[in-house]
Structure 1
Amino acid sequence: MRIRTFSKAHIRQEIQLRCQSLAGNDNRGFKQEFEELNDVGKELPTRAGELEVNKEKNRYPHILPYDHCRVRLSLQDAQPNGDYINANFVPGGSSERDFICTQGPLRNTMADFWRMVWEQNVSIIVMVTALRHKDVVLCDQYWSMARGTVYHGAFQVNTLSCKQGSHVSITYMNLKQRGYPTERLITHYYYPSWPDRGVPRDTSALCGLAEHVRQQIEATPRLGPAVVHCSAGVGRSGAFVTLLWLMQLCERGVSPDIRAAVEDLRMHRMWMVQNVEQYVLVHKCLLNWLSRGTAANLDRSPPSQGVHPNSSRSQVRTRGSSSQGNRARRSHQHEQPRALPDQTHSIFQQLLEPRNLLRRLLPSSLQLPQTSSEPKQTNQNFQNVHTKP
């Protein structure tokens, strides 16, 4: 049996019918489905974050990274616990490490944050929180919107330009480690309109940001994951990554299983998509995006200065089919499916490694599409983003 793909119109109709069913009786279906996820991942250990030496590195003492997929920094100065940062690798449809979800940096963890960005070859950072809410600091400001250079530990962060829109600010920065000639271009998205533990009023702006970031990821050859963070790095970060993941599936004609995606994210970082309002938001935004297919008016051109973060590497990791993350639908009555090419035996075996996301979320009887043969579906306007030195 082959993975079956469908038009966006078909997927939209399917999701719309499902949302109507779940929304009845004051969102009873949404609430029940979300409650079923309450205990997912709670048994997983968080020993590193619980160590006394690492407690001051956690913005919230009860939100800690799972040990099995936490991001480890390189050890420096023979410090046995110097590899700790409150961050987890999470899947996004292509691998177990498509994204890093992390807390908003503290003053004493800014240098660690930039070290993580450097060591993990990150080129895209998405910040979905304001810096403050009234008198509460949600995230310490670890970058500058004004042109100039700041230093965080061994790293030099040089802001090249900043474009401020009505909802999103995009800052382009060069990141450099002291003593090394290589510079890397970082694109930073700042979306402060999303309230802590809540949902934004303007879902169209959020959909536009997600679509813009999705196309950037598709069009930019990268070796490392994208970083997504809010304040705690669980609720809003989880909702944003879920939305990106499902958009990628829909672009490839795969009907997304939203519950399964959230469940898998919660096996990688606790409390991803923190409340039922955010769970409903993911459904609404996906439906909004499928219905309109429009992106926000964001700046699509990086500055001419700076070096692409991966320009010095001879190999790049290209994104595989994002259908590697959800259950393909087994039957559809009103549309003739088009089959994707058969997977070769060697790649098929590789994708069935126990750590691979696909083994958990697709029925074992399905054949997998060959990554190299699937046409790349990107907006031509994004093809040259970050590719010029």
Structure 2
Amino acid sequence: MERVYTLVLLCAVSALGQIQNVNKVSVTDRTETELTFQWDTVDNDTNYTYELMNGSGQIIEITATVPVVTHTVSSLSPGTNYSFTLYTVSNETQSDGFNFWAVTVPSNVVNVVVVNRKETEMTLQWEKVNNRNDYTYELDYRDGEKPPKPIPSADLVEQKVENLTSGTEYFFTLYTVFKDVKSSGYNFSNVTVPSNVDAPPIVVAFNDTDVIFKWNTSNKAYNYSLENSKTSHENINIISTQGNEVTGHISGLNPATNYRFTLYTEFFDARSTGYNFSHTTSLSRVTEVKITRSLTQLNITWNKLNKNNIYDYILSASNGNKTYNGSSEGNEITHMYSDLTPGTLYSFTLFTQVNGQRNGYDFKSITTINCASFTWDVTNSSINAIVNGSTNITAKNSAGNETFPVNKNTVNLQKLNPGDSYTVSLWFYLDLEKLLQCSHNLTLVPNSVLNLSCTHFSGGYGLAVIWDLPNGVVDVVQVDVDRQSFNLSSNTSQRQEVKNLQVAQWYKVTATSFSGAMQSKTETHNCQTDPAGVIAGVLVFFLLVLIICAAVYLWFRYGSAKRNKTSKPPPVVSNVTKKNYKPIPMHKFPEHFRHMSCDENRGFSEEYEDLSSVGIEQSNAAAFLPGNNNKNRFSNVLPYDSSRVHLTVNDEDDSDYINASYMPGYGNASKQYIAAQGPLPSTVNDFWRMVWEKRSQAIVMVTNCTESGRVKCEQYWPLDYSPCLYGNLVVTVKSEDKAQSWTLREFNIKNKSSSETRTVKHFHFTAWPDHGVPFGTEELIKFRGRVRQHIENSYSAGPTVVHCSAGVGRTGTLIALDVLLQQLDREKEVAIAAFVQQMRLCRPLMVQTESQYVFLHQCIMDTLEPKVVALSEPLYENSDMIYVNAIALRKYENGSKI
């Protein structure tokens, strides 16, 4: 486009002639709407004026004030060619004019679009500027490089840029050109398509849902994306870039699925054409299961694969399949097989299933066995049995652990230590795993004592029994002489003195070794007391004969007259002496207690002495029968025939005897308790037999097994939670709860013959010294409360078994406390002496010491006045030297402390 402007320069006319034009006009600046001109004044005269005239005749007057004139013409149109005339004017006279042309800057393009791009070229597109066809375009890029020819105008201009580099950002400037005048330039950038990876991706690791692969790249600025045949797009987690090698990770895939992947290189918004490759994900299998085994159950647990819910699981066994849906809650799945056969090997396959594909894991397991169910043949040096469900056996004692094979289900352990206790464990070797099938505690038969012999002493009235201990383990040696039985710990001297025998008499002496519940063959030796006193005895005999003859003569001579006279028969004396003790009302008991305590407990001493002979005339013949004598722990504590507990006799070898007596309870309960001695090694089976036959549901133990280094009671329950066999009964410790002064246990007892199982509570008070009393009354009163609560909750239970060592002292005190507190609660009175008398009519020496008798009163007192008693000193003496029962004291000296 061209437009004509006339610039008129006016100046004064000189006297010499025509006014001169300017020599040259320069364009010093131009924009789309303005042109700036500059020229030198004519003759360097600033008195001239100038006129600018455009094609429409408009005149702009310009005054020259400096030698160089600058003038800007504005309000022009972009990209237009303008024609100007510049006149010099002076005194209304003008020059003939200086003509020149000038072009304004054309406008920039509005927008450039990339309509196509490849790795080495891209095609640009834009609309022509101002609908001008006379414009051309010039494209600068790559540090000023441009195409060799101008770009002609068109309605929609396209320009292909070639010979580019892949994956590169280019910066462009697009100029609009009119008559060699360029616009300010339109700046934009864009990128070429990046190249694909240089080589096929290599899969370096994969599992069910993840793939890790690596590839080479020529540009570290590239990003990457992945498409597959199952999902539209996946982001790749770039794990590392080392040199030109890139490692990527894709997750969230489906197991056992074939994927066709396309790996794209991305640079800004451009993606490569993509590199295609294939991969199939795996289907893992469960490789580990946890199995909890029992006699008839196998509890199988496994973790979900990758903690993922997409899998289903099929547990296959010989009896069928069990399917579990993986979408269940939690990360663990459990299945229990029940009603299985003990000691049986079972095979399983656990399949992982997804997308119709399976992968299986094979494993085996075996149910446990019950060691107590087998018949164990135990001798003094061997253990033999026929077992099943095991491949090896271990026998562990204090010296160590030995392993033996099980050959054809036969256990044959030889050269064992006599009398020693072994933990026998049966094992099953399954592949590389050693499975414990069961454990059982067995004690070998101890060896018999050696060199049993006797010497006499005490003027012929005593024998000293001497023996040597055999090799192996011996806990107790039981010596029997003339119905007297002595139990001696193996770590005491091998000598037992027996007193109160007759002179020059032969006695059968037996000695038996015990280890746990096992006893050796009994050794027998006949011994004679010292015959030195026999001669003196003969002389005394003749003297007695003479005296008797004289008495007979006198009786026949002088007594005939009296024989004809009638006289009353001598009075019949009852075998049982019983006194009448009155109960003490509750409100009078504190005064009664203080009265009895005066003069150093004089009242208690006198009342206790009155009870010393109660019941002692009663028969206890059963305790002396052959085979029963060695079942008594102490020779002076024997049950009366009238009140002893009878066991059931099933065959000729059984005996109905046990050192235990029925004891009365509160009210009319004549057999609410059984007072028993602590079991001996040889009577443990009888003890459990009594508990089963009398249907007892509670055992109260008020002694410790060992006190002051002496065995007070054989431990008659299992050492741990492994079942133990006692006769025909299998006893298992179900629970054990230890407190400061007592331990509470619960036993399961199973009869092997009938398979009946019962539960028995075991109340064990551990803070009661032998022959003494507890330090305070509070703990024993609380303990009694627990026992009483259990008895009242067991409506169908048999008698409660209570025992200490001998079954009289601590046993009698605990039974009396239970009954008297019931009487105090219901009748508001208490008859302590009367009930102790009642107990002694059923068993000798019940409440054995005076200190225990006073302590019983103290318990009643503390129940009535707990706050007052807490501030006072106890009135009982905690001493094991108080034995006021004179008759029992003489017998006690011949035995051991109870």
Same fold per TM (> 0.5)?
yes
> In structure 1, what is the equivalent of residue 717 of structure 2?
143
For residue 28 of structure 1, the aligned residue among 591, 599, 602 is 602
Higher strand share: 2
Q: Indicate yes or no: 2:647 matched with 1:91.
A: no
Displacement of 1:188 in angstroms is 0.3
CA contact (8 A) 2:697 2:794 kept: no
CA contact (8 A) 2:586 2:830 kept: no
SS in 1 for 2:645: strand
SS in 2 for 1:251: helix
> In structure 1, what is the equivalent of residue 812 of structure 2?
238
> In structure 1, what is the equivalent of residue 630 of structure 2?
56
Displacement of 1:255 in angstroms is 0.7
> In structure 1, what is the equivalent of residue 849 of structure 2?
275
For residue 75 of structure 1, the aligned residue among 649, 670, 689 is 649
SS in 1 for 2:812: helix
SS in 1 for 2:683: helix
> In structure 2, what is the equivalent of residue 5 of structure 1?
none
Residues in 1 aligned to 2:636 and 2:765: alpha-carbon distance in whole angstroms: 25
Residues in 2 aligned to 1:70 and 1:281: alpha-carbon distance in whole angstroms: 27
- Quick one: percent identity of the two aligned structures? 37
Query: Structure 1 stretch 218-227 or stretch 135-144: which is displaced more?
Result: 218-227
Cα 1:291–1:219, aligned 2, differ >3 Å: closer, same or farther? farther
Aligned residues between the structures: 283
> In structure 2, what is the equivalent of residue 124 of structure 1?
698
Displacement of 1:42 in angstroms is 0.4
Displacement of 1:177 in angstroms is 1.1
- Per-residue CA deviation, residues 283-334 of structure 1 (Å, 9 max, x unaligned), is 11122233349xxxxxxxxxxxxxxxxxxxxxxxxxxxxxxxxxxxxxxxxx
CA contact (8 A) 2:586 2:828 kept: no
Q: Indicate yes or no: 2:826 matched with 1:252.
A: yes
Residues in 1 aligned to 2:785 and 2:589: alpha-carbon distance in whole angstroms: 18
Structure 1 counterpart of 2:733, one-letter code: T
Residues in 1 aligned to 2:814 and 2:768: alpha-carbon distance in whole angstroms: 11
Q: How does 1:169-180 map to 2 (within 5 A)?
A: 169-180=743-754
Gaps of 5+ in 2: 1-583, 868-898
> In structure 1, what is the equivalent of residue 730 of structure 2?
156
> In structure 2, what is the equivalent of residue 215 of structure 1?
789
Cα 1:263–1:277, aligned 2, differ >3 Å: closer, same or farther? same
SS in 2 for 1:84: coil
Residues in 2 aligned to 1:154 and 1:61: alpha-carbon distance in whole angstroms: 29
Q: Indicate yes or no: 2:769 matched with 1:195.
A: yes
CA contact (8 A) 1:237 1:272 kept: yes
Residues in 2 aligned to 1:12 and 1:176: alpha-carbon distance in whole angstroms: 46
CA contact (8 A) 1:145 1:171 kept: no
Residues in 1 aligned to 2:808 and 2:597: alpha-carbon distance in whole angstroms: 24
CA contact (8 A) 2:586 2:824 kept: no
Q: Indicate yes or no: 2:611 matched with 1:37.
A: yes
CA contact (8 A) 1:12 1:291 kept: no
CA contact (8 A) 1:123 1:222 kept: no
Gaps of 5+ in 1: 1-9, 294-389
Displacement of 1:32 in angstroms is 0.3
CA contact (8 A) 1:101 1:229 kept: yes
- Per-residue CA deviation, residues 255-292 of structure 1 (Å, 9 max, x unaligned), is 11100000000000000000110000111112223334
For residue 686 of structure 2, the aligned residue among 96, 102, 112 is 112
Structure 1 counterpart of 2:660, one-letter code: A
Residues in 2 aligned to 1:212 and 1:170: alpha-carbon distance in whole angstroms: 10
For residue 862 of structure 2, the aligned residue among 288, 291, 313 is 288
- Per-residue CA deviation, residues 222-254 of structure 1 (Å, 9 max, x unaligned), is 331100000000011001100000011122134
Displacement of 1:133 in angstroms is 1.5
Cα 1:66–1:20, aligned 2, differ >3 Å: closer, same or farther? same
TM-score (norm 2): 0.31
> In structure 1, what is the equivalent of residue 836 of structure 2?
262
Higher relative contact order (CA 8 A, sep 6+): 1
Q: Indicate yes or no: 2:726 matched with 1:167.
A: no
Residues in 2 aligned to 1:275 and 1:152: alpha-carbon distance in whole angstroms: 34
CA RMSD in angstroms, aligned pairs only: 1.6
CA contact (8 A) 1:230 1:237 kept: yes
Query: Structure 1 stretch 141-150 or stretch 43-52: which is displaced more?
Result: 141-150
- Per-residue CA deviation, residues 29-84 of structure 1 (Å, 9 max, x unaligned), is 000000000110000010011223211101111210000010000002224x6000
Displacement of 1:219 in angstroms is 2.3
Residues in 2 aligned to 1:56 and 1:192: alpha-carbon distance in whole angstroms: 27
Residues in 1 aligned to 2:624 and 2:589: alpha-carbon distance in whole angstroms: 40
Cα 1:234–1:25, aligned 2, differ >3 Å: closer, same or farther? same
SS in 1 for 2:750: strand
- Per-residue CA deviation, residues 160-205 of structure 1 (Å, 9 max, x unaligned), is 0000000000000111111212211100011122111111113211
Residues in 2 aligned to 1:275 and 1:264: alpha-carbon distance in whole angstroms: 16
